[in-house]
Structure 1
Amino acid sequence: MLELEHGFRVVDVHTRLDPDEEAVAVRGRQVSPERLEREMHQAGVERAAVSPGRTPRGEGYLRANNAVARLSVDRPLLPFARLGGPRRISRVVGPLVNPVKRAKSHHTTAGDVEQYAYDDRYHGFTLAPAHDGLPTAAVIDELAAVGDPVLVHAGENCPPRAVADTLLGRGFPVVLTSFGGYPLNENLMDAALSLLETHDDLYLDTAYVPDRDVLERGLLEHPDRILFGSGAPSVHPNVGVMEILTLDVSEDAMRRAFTKNPARVVPGLLPDR
């Protein structure tokens, strides 16, 4: 695939790296760190936040997180540690989190979060509550103490309102993937955009959002809260970049989404890091 030519410095808040076939139940394309780096270069993406893909239920993420951190060394990749827990988010409005179940050995502990944050080895955290469960209150308290950004895989099985009620207002930035509406649920995307008006610590990434109207609305109404995310390797970074480049918005709005906003939320994406 030919390299894209554009005048923007692009950084990416949403990519996946599967360490090995035994550790991860692969969804979509599985690529090596070298190929991911090469595809980023083709799209003009200079740096990217990367977290492990899902493991089988009951396995946990300690091994996968350590592997991603190791594979990110000397590459333009910033590892995010993926977390899991015993609580489940409901898809319906009402009691959004089911009663707490007892944490098991594979669930993330507050000590795990403290260790992940030690010495800035990881630049943030990733949650996919619909698959991995929501961490305990003690873990969320530790996330608040650390203050690093948390990328949350949102969508039909983890609606934006549930995320707002469980994670927002705790002092750490929350990035909802896919405008909160994967797979292309415009009602959920509208809900996520509305939440931006009342939650200063909430951001949305652009991964898997092919709807031009929704993307343009986000960039025009909330230019400081939209972050570029490609969703690589499930989607080639070229595709994600082109979706932004073809929007009917100003270059300044694109520059904010590609560079300024992601680097403000994830300081490691700054060019001098």
Structure 2
Amino acid sequence: MLELEHGFRVVDVHTRLDPDEEAVAVRGRQVSPERLEREMHQAGVERAAASPGRTPRGEGYLRANNAVARLSIDRPIIAFARLGGPRSVKRVVGPLVNAVSRPRSHHTTAGDVEQYAYDDRYHGFTLDPAHDGLPTEPVLDELAATDDPVVVHGGEQYPPSAVAETLLDRGFPVVLSSFGGYPLNEDLMRSALDLLGEYDDLYLDTAYVPDRDVLEKGLLEHPDRILFGSGAPSVHPNVGVMEILTLDVPEDAMRRAFTKNPARVVPGLLPDL
């Protein structure tokens, strides 16, 4: 695939780095770290944040997080640690919101978050509550103490309203992936856009959002809150970049999404001095 020429400095807040062949086979398109780096270069993406893909329920993410941190060394990739917890989103968004769930050995603890935060290999965190469970209150408190960005996978099982109820106004920046509407739920995406007017610590990334109207509305009405995310390797970074380049929005709005906003929320995406 030919290299895109667009004149923007592009950084990416949403990629996945699978540490082994078994994980790649389970999660989709097989992309090695070398190929991910090559595809980033083809798309003109200078730096990207990467976290592990899903592991089987009950396995935890310590090994996968360490693998992603190791594989990001000497590459234009920064590692995000993926976290899991004991609380089911069916409980936290329903009448059992106050139910107590007992953490197990594979669940993230507040001490784990503190260690990740002090380890200069990690630049943020990733949550997928519908698959991995929601962390405990002490873990969320520790995330607030770190003030590091947290990329959150939402969707029909964990809609933007649930994100607002459980994670927003907690003291850390939340980047809601895919406008909170994966897969292709425009109503959820628009409800996430509405939340931007209520929460200053909420941002949306563009991964898997092919709807031009939704993307344009976000970039025009909230130009400082939209961050470019490609969703690679499930989507080639070229596709994600082109979706932004073909929108009917000012060049400055594109530059904010590609460069200024991601680097403000995720300082690790800034260029090396």
TM-score, normalized by length of structure 2? 0.97
Pair 173,92 (structure 1): closer, same or farther in 2 beyond 3 Å: closer
**1:169-180 equivalence runs, <5 A:** 169-180=169-180
**How many Å separate the matches in 2 of 1:73 and 1:96?**
43
Report the counterpart of residue 260 of structure 1 in structure 2: 260
Equivalent residues of 2:92, 2:98 under 8 A apart? no
Per-residue deviation, residues 193-245 of structure 1 (Å, max 9, x unmatched):
01000100000000000000000000000000000000000000000000000
Is 1:30 aligned with 2:44?
Answer: no
Report the counterpart of residue 184 of structure 1 in structure 2: 184
**SS of the residue 1:54 aligns to:** coil
**1:50-69 equivalence runs, <5 A:** 50-69=50-69
**How many Å separate the matches in 2 of 1:141 and 1:211?**
35
**SS of the residue 1:123 aligns to:** strand
Pair 136,233 (structure 1): closer, same or farther in 2 beyond 3 Å: same
**How many Å separate the matches in 1 of 2:94 and 2:194?**
19
**SS of the residue 2:260 aligns to:** helix
Is 1:150 aligned with 2:143?
Answer: no
Percent identical residues: 87
**1:10-21 equivalence runs, <5 A:** 10-21=10-21
Pair 95,101 (structure 1): closer, same or farther in 2 beyond 3 Å: same
Per-residue deviation, residues 101-159 of structure 1 (Å, max 9, x unmatched):
21000000001001111142200000000000000111001000111000000111110
Equivalent residues of 2:92, 2:166 under 8 A apart? no
CA RMSD, Structure 1 to Structure 2 (Å): 1.6
**How many Å separate the matches in 1 of 2:191 and 2:262?**
22
Equivalent residues of 1:14, 1:50 under 8 A apart? yes
Cα distance, 1:94 vs structure 2: 4.5
TM-score, normalized by length of structure 1? 0.97
**Stretch of structure 1 that moved more, 118-127 or 235-244:** 118-127
The aligned amino acid for 1:117 is A
Equivalent residues of 1:91, 1:157 under 8 A apart? no
Pair 175,234 (structure 1): closer, same or farther in 2 beyond 3 Å: same
Cα distance, 1:271 vs structure 2: 1.5
Report the counterpart of residue 197 of structure 1 in structure 2: 197
**How many Å separate the matches in 2 of 1:109 and 1:164?**
22
Cα distance, 1:170 vs structure 2: 1.3
Report the counterpart of residue 113 of structure 2 in structure 1: 113
**How many Å separate the matches in 1 of 2:111 and 2:118?**
11
Report the counterpart of residue 212 of structure 2 in structure 1: 212
Equivalent residues of 2:91, 2:97 under 8 A apart? no
Q: How many residue pairs were aligned?
A: 273
**SS of the residue 2:248 aligns to:** coil
The aligned amino acid for 2:72 is S
Report the counterpart of residue 139 of structure 1 in structure 2: 139
Per-residue deviation, residues 27-48 of structure 1 (Å, max 9, x unmatched):
2213111000000000000000
* Unpaired segments ≥5 residues, structure 1: none
Cα distance, 1:186 vs structure 2: 1.0
The aligned amino acid for 1:86 is P
**How many Å separate the matches in 2 of 1:127 and 1:181?**
15
Pair 241,181 (structure 1): closer, same or farther in 2 beyond 3 Å: same
**How many Å separate the matches in 2 of 1:4 and 1:226?**
22
Is 1:43 aligned with 2:39?
Answer: no
Cα distance, 1:92 vs structure 2: 9.8
The aligned amino acid for 1:246 is T
